[in-house]
């Protein structure tokens, strides 16, 4: 959709016409037709596909009707309700946090790095330990495609082998919108975490969890629900 500042020109049009000459640059426009430039009493909204000064019209948009436009009528470019609503809807979508629950599945038996399969969750933050092989993870966060490279458990400063925190990280070529999630994992429910990004790297981390035991061997699911 294109716009043109201060565009207004006289027009005559039958109710059935679907082409007209318009002095606009090539492109697609949403235009308004009125029966007067100063004291209009009726209007019609049209879409115009302009090419080389000739426009193909889609008549009667936004609840208006295709009408006869005699001498004295004008066509002009103005912001319409549907156009504005479309812009606001897209802005709301960009500003909103992700709507889906995100699920990460790991096989939690820790394995040596040299035996790790593709997608292995290596050592994490604060000297964290490996938690196993990554089975599945979201391919999108906040509307941007991502790669998940690591799901780790975090050990405390004394090196105790207890689950002290959880780190999930990866890379992305897009911009992620910071958003809060509620993280749930075996033994740790309803922990608030924040999606963060540093250049192409992103991470979700929760630390200072209550002391708990290591995850059991076998499939473990971590879920993130938008807060």
Could you write out the DSSP letters of every residue in the chain?
Answer: -B--TT-EEEEEE-TT--EEE----SEEEEEEEES-SSS---EEEEEEEEETTEEEEEEEETT-----EEEEEEEE----HHHHHHHHHHHHHHHSPP-SPEEEEEE-----GGGPPTTEE---GGG-EE-EEEEE--SEETTEEEEEEEEEEE--TT--SS--EEEEEEEESSPPPPEEEEEEETTEEEEEEEEEEETTEEEEEE-SPPP-PPPPSSEEEEEEEE-
Q: Are residues 153 and 62 in the same domain?
A: no
Percentage of the residues of the chain whose pLDDT score is greater than 90: 37
| pTM as predicted | 0.47
Q: Where among 42, 74, 95 does a domain terminate?
A: 95
Q: Are residues 51 and 106 in the same domain?
A: no
Q: Is the pLDDT confidence value at 118 over 50?
A: no
Q: Are 109 and 129 in contact (CB under 8 A)?
A: no
Residue 145 forms part of a structural domain: yes
Residue 170 forms part of a structural domain: yes
Q: Are residues 189 and 211 in the same domain?
A: yes
Q: Are residues 67 and 167 in the same domain?
A: no
Q: Where among 72, 95, 118 does a domain terminate?
A: 95
Residue 62, sorted as left (phi over 0), alpha (psi -120 to 50) or beta, turns out to be left
Residue 1 forms part of a structural domain: no
Average pLDDT over residues 67-95: 88
Q: Are residues 68 and 117 in the same domain?
A: no
Q: Are residues 121 and 220 in the same domain?
A: yes
Q: Where among 47, 69, 95 does a domain terminate?
A: 95
Domain count, the chain: 2
Q: Are 13 and 33 in contact (CB under 8 A)?
A: yes
- 94 falls in which pLDDT band (50, 70, 90)? low
- 221 falls in which pLDDT band (50, 70, 90)? confident
Residue 2 forms part of a structural domain: no
Q: Is the pLDDT confidence value at 58 over 80?
A: yes
Where in the sequence is the domain holding 72, given as residue range(s)?
8-95
pLDDT score, position 53: 95
- 163 falls in which pLDDT band (50, 70, 90)? low
Q: Are residues 39 and 137 in the same domain?
A: no
Q: Are residues 73 and 159 in the same domain?
A: no
Please provide the average confidence, as pLDDT, over all residues in the chain.
79
Q: Are residues 135 and 70 in the same domain?
A: no
Q: Are residues 134 and 41 in the same domain?
A: no
Q: Are residues 90 and 106 in the same domain?
A: no
Q: What residues contact residue 4 under an 8 Å CB cut-off, 6+ apart? A: 24, 25, 29, 77
Residue 203 forms part of a structural domain: yes
Q: Are residues 133 and 207 in the same domain?
A: yes
């Amino acid at each position: 959709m294109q716009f043109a500042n201060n565009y207004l020109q006289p027009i005559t049009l039958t109710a059935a016409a679907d082409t007209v000459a318009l002095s606009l640059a090539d492109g697609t426009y949403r235009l308004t037709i009125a029966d007067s430039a100063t004291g209009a009493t009726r209007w019609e909204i049209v879409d115009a596909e302009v090419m080389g000064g000739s426009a193909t019209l889609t008549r009667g948009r936004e609840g208006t009707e295709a009408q006869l436009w005699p001498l004295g009528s004008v066509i002009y470019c103005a912001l319409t309700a549907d156009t504005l609503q479309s812009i606001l809807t897209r802005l709301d979508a960009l500003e909103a946090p992700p709507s889906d629950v995100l699920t990460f599945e790991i096989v939690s038996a820790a394995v040596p790095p040299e035996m790790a399969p593709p997608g292995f969750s290596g050592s994490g933050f604060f000297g964290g330990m490996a938690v196993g092989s990554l089975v599945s993870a979201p391919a999108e966060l906040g509307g941007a495609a991502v790669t998940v490279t690591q799901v780790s458990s975090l050990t405390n400063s004394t090196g105790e082998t207890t689950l002290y925190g959880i780190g999930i990280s990866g890379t992305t070529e897009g911009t992620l919108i910071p958003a809060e999630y509620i993280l749930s994992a075996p033994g740790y429910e309803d922990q608030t975490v924040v999606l963060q990004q540093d250049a192409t790297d992103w991470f979700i981390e929760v630390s200072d969890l209550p002391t708990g035991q290591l995850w059991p061997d076998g499939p473990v699911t971590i879920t993130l629900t938008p807060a």
